[in-house]
């Protein structure tokens, strides 16, 4: 059975893991050059975008550096330690996280509307009390069972997104329609207690403890892209993140 067939991770993560293992076991020594993107595409059968994302993941983790026109090179320990010192944990998306647990993710758009912003949303988006935001509510499920109720707030520039588009990947829809993608932001995780509406939709008792995940995300131009709130059943779902290995 192939490596990717045994893994529930995205293909670029599978490839990055394989290359990382080869770096750690000495197949590729510090300073040596990794195979080129075309060579990796040919040897793995993966697309150019998959290979590129795998290499970028290794760059982000400090294992390799890339030189325009020259290639991708294995970092030495001092370079890697410096890269890791400035890193933050990498959080998986809901879809990737559910897949990593061996389940099938589903998304269903519950409601789409425009709404006046709260003070916190006005501060993040830099808008006034008279402005409106595009609000999307989605139910996220795993193997057909409701797991997460998600609310997303976006600028009105994205208000022509349709329910069918939002039933899939939000970031894919934003990239396909507008050419924007998330670049950075903040994520907070805490505990909240189910409201009557949340209890009904998630199938839990009112005031049951739930995981609350809040994201404030900027696009590649540094502009506010979205704020999202995920209310999630902790008894049915674990949230994962990758914490870089520390080099001493």
pTM: 0.60
CATH number 3.30.70.260 is the correct assignment for the domain at 94-241: no
| Domain ranges across the chain | 3-85, 94-241
Average pLDDT value over all residues in the chain = 82
**Residue 88: what pLDDT?**
47
Measured at the alpha carbon of residue 231, what is the angle toward residues 226 and 232, in degrees to the nearest 5?
A: 125
Token code pair at residue 209: 């403890």
- Nearest Cα neighbor of 148 from 241, 239, 225, 218 is 239
Instruction: Count the residues in the chain.
Output: 248
Q: What is the mean pLDDT of residues 172-186?
A: 88
More confident residue, 244 or 94: 94
Task: State mean pLDDT over 195-201.
Answer: 91
Fold for the domain defined by 3-85:
Arc Repressor Mutant, subunit A (1.10.10)
What is residue 57's predicted lDDT score, i.e. its pLDDT?
A: 82
Q: How far apart are CA 78 and CA 58, in angstroms?
A: 16
Q: Among residues 129, 227, 223, which one has the least CA distance to residue 186?
A: 227
């Amino acid at each position: 059975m192939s490596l990717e067939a045994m893994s529930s991770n995205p293909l670029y993560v599978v490839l990055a893991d394989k290359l990382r293992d080869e770096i750690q076991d000495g197949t590729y020594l510090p300073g040596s050059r990794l195979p080129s993107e075309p060579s990796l595409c040919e040897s793995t059968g993966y697309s150019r975008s998959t290979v590129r994302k795998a290499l970028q993941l290794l760059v982000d983790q400090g294992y390799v550096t890339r030189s325009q026109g020259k290639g991708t090179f294995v970092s030495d320990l001092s370079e890697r330690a410096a890269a890791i010192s400035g890193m933050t944990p990498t959080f998986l998306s809901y879809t990737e996280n559910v897949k990593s647990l061996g389940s099938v993710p589903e998304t269903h758009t519950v409601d789409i509307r425009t709404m006046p912003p709260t003070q916190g949303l006005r501060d993040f988006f830099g808008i006034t009390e008279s402005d409106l935001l595009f609000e999307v509510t989605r139910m996220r499920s795993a193997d057909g069972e409701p797991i997460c109720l998600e609310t997303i707030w976006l600028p009105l520039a994205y208000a022509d997104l349709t329910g069918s588009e939002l039933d899939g990947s939000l970031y894919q829809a934003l990239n396909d329609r507008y050419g924007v993608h998330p670049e950075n932001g903040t994520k907070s995780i805490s505990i909240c207690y189910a409201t009557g509406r949340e209890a009904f939709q998630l199938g839990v008792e009112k005031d049951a403890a739930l995981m609350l995940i809040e994201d404030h995300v900027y696009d590649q131009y540094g502009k506010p892209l979205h704020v999202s709130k995920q209310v999630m059943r902790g008894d049915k779902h674990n949230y994962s993140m990758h914490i870089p290995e520390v080099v001493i």
